Amino acid sequence: MQFIKQTIRAFILIFVFSLSSGNVFAASRLTGTVNVVQVNEPWGGIMIQLSSAPTFESGSACASTWAFIPVTDPFANLFLSIATTAKVSGLPVVIQTNGCTNTSVASIPLINAIEIGMRVGF
């Protein structure tokens, strides 16, 4: 029950944060099943790839089939648990990115929201 409460709080905070974001890039919002969840030390974060490898931030300088969240992000652990749950269960996810972030390795699409399951209505 605690996990569900934390997840709901995270979604609300992520939604509010995404509304106030000043990023000039258009957001990518892609749906699919999780192909790979990778905690990547050289990149300093968590990388996620969807099955069929759609491109996040298509048309931008950081367009990639991978999306990224740095481990320093306050929601990184929640994103990791949602992505891992989706991978294990085979449930579809929606991953939203909003622009690019620079890592020590390269520029990559930055995750700002993950939803597990499919919405009905709202």
Residue bearing the bigger pLDDT, 55 or 20: 55
DSSP helix/strand/coil, 14: helix
Domain containing residue 61: CATH number = 2.40.50
78: left (phi over 0), alpha (psi -120 to 50) or beta: alpha
The pLDDT of residue 27 = 72
Q: Which domain holds residue 36?
A: 2-116
End-to-end CA separation in angstroms for the chain: 23
Evaluate whether residue 10 is within a structural domain: yes
pLDDT per position as a tens digit, 59-84: 888 999 999 999 999 999 999 999 99
Evaluate whether residue 121 is within a structural domain: no
Summary mean pLDDT of the chain: 81
User: Using only C-alpha atoms, what is the Rg of the chain?
Assistant: 13
Evaluate whether residue 122 is within a structural domain: no
Evaluate whether residue 55 is within a structural domain: yes
